[in-house]
Amino acid sequence: MKSTLLTLATAMIVTVVSTTTTFAGPGHEHGDGKHAGGHMDHMNDVLQKLKTELGSEYGKPVPAASKEQLVLGKKVFAQSCVACHGASGKGDGPAAAGLKKKPADFTDTEHSKFYSDQGRIHIIKKGIAGTPMSGWEAVLNEQEIQSVHAYVRSLRNSANKEKHGHSNHAH
Ligand code: HEC
């Protein structure tokens, strides 16, 4: 637990420093829930990269979460992810205020379906280059990663169930 926190702190410092130095240009503001052009470009880049790295794995379904996974996932989330993603998963954790690239809102149904489940598991393992989202495979074991993904996925329908538009997201 102590060492997890230490690793987390180090990862945050490293990523915050590297993002502030690499991204001196126009920031990717998340705005008020709408995805501005620059942010969509970034997400499309990440999407292409995920598809390249995962190949046919990308679209493979991930089985429904077990109760045990949700319990473990919630614990992992509270330890490792809340600082940025926030207790409710809305991306409003205490560390998020200082980030140039804002964490995803896991309760936003539309956004949270942008990447496939396998894509998101890959993100949790490897991180997203050039953003504060670091990879967790050195910190969490496979079971913890699968579980925290399952937990994060379970947050998807916790807000605005009825508001599922198809406006500008390619699925
Ligand atoms: C240091 C802050 C930070 C921590 C800690 C962190 N994240 Fe993130 N995460 C981010 C940011 C910022 C993004 C958005 C990156 C971008 O702009 O592409 C992100 C994106 C993601 C995404 C992609 C979501 C999407 O649909 O856009 C997933 C999944 C994710 N994080 C899961 C996790 C999990 C699970 C943990 C804990 C094990 C975690 N994150 C810890 C900052 C963080």
Dihedral over Cα of 128, 68, 157, 64: its sign: positive
- Flag whether 35 is in a domain: no
Q: Is 50 in the pocket of ligand 1 (CB under 6 A)?
A: no
Query: In this model, does residue 5 exceed pLDDT 70?
Result: no
Q: Are 58 and 116 in contact (CB under 8 A)?
A: yes
Q: How far is residue 33's CA from residue 110's CA, in Å, rounded to a whole number?
A: 11
Q: How far is residue 96's CA from residue 87's CA, in Å, rounded to a whole number?
A: 12
Per-residue model confidence (pLDDT) at position 45: 96
Per-residue model confidence (pLDDT) at position 85: 97
Q: Is 133 in the pocket of ligand 1 (CB under 6 A)?
A: yes
Please enumerate, as own/partner, the contacts of 130-133 that have beta carbons within 8 Å and a separation of 24 or more.
Answer: 130/19, 130/22, 130/23, 131/15, 131/19, 131/101, 132/12, 132/15, 132/16, 132/19, 132/84, 132/99, 132/101, 132/103, 133/15, 133/84, 133/101, 133/103
Model confidence pLDDT, tens digit, residues 107-144: 998 888 899 999 999 999 999 999 999 999 999 999 99
State the closest ligand 1 atom to the C-alpha of 149, by its place in the atom list counted from 1.
Answer: 35
Q: How far is residue 115's CA from residue 121's CA, in Å, rounded to a whole number?
A: 10
Query: Which of 7, 12, 70, 85 most suits a substitution to test ligand 1, by most atoms within 8 Å of the C-beta?
Result: 85
- Flag whether 32 is in a domain: no
- Flag whether 36 is in a domain: no
State the closest ligand 1 atom to the C-alpha of 148, by its place in the atom list counted from 1.
Answer: 35
Report the CATH number at residue 98.
Answer: 1.10.760.10
Tell me the residue range of the domain where 85 lies.
Answer: 2-22+41-158
- Flag whether 153 is in a domain: yes
Per-residue model confidence (pLDDT) at position 104: 87
Please state the rounded mean pLDDT for residues 62-90: 97
Q: What is the pTM of this model?
A: 0.78
Per-residue model confidence (pLDDT) at position 98: 93
Model confidence pLDDT, tens digit, residues 24-74: 444 444 444 455 578 889 999 999 999 999 999 999 999 999 999 999 999
Query: Which of 133, 146, 147, 153 most suits a substitution to test ligand 1, by most atoms within 8 Å of the C-beta?
Result: 133
- Flag whether 6 is in a domain: yes
Q: Is 120 in the pocket of ligand 1 (CB under 6 A)?
A: yes
Q: How far is residue 77's CA from residue 106's CA, in Å, rounded to a whole number?
A: 12
Per-residue model confidence (pLDDT) at position 18: 44
Per-residue model confidence (pLDDT) at position 34: 53
Query: In this model, does residue 21 exceed pLDDT 50?
Result: no
- Flag whether 163 is in a domain: no
Query: In this model, does residue 22 exceed pLDDT 90?
Result: no
Give the confidence band of 6 by pLDDT, cuts at 50, 70, 90. low
Domain count, the chain: 1
- Flag whether 164 is in a domain: no
155 Cβ contact list (under 8 Å, min separation 6): 88, 89, 106, 107, 112
- Flag whether 147 is in a domain: yes
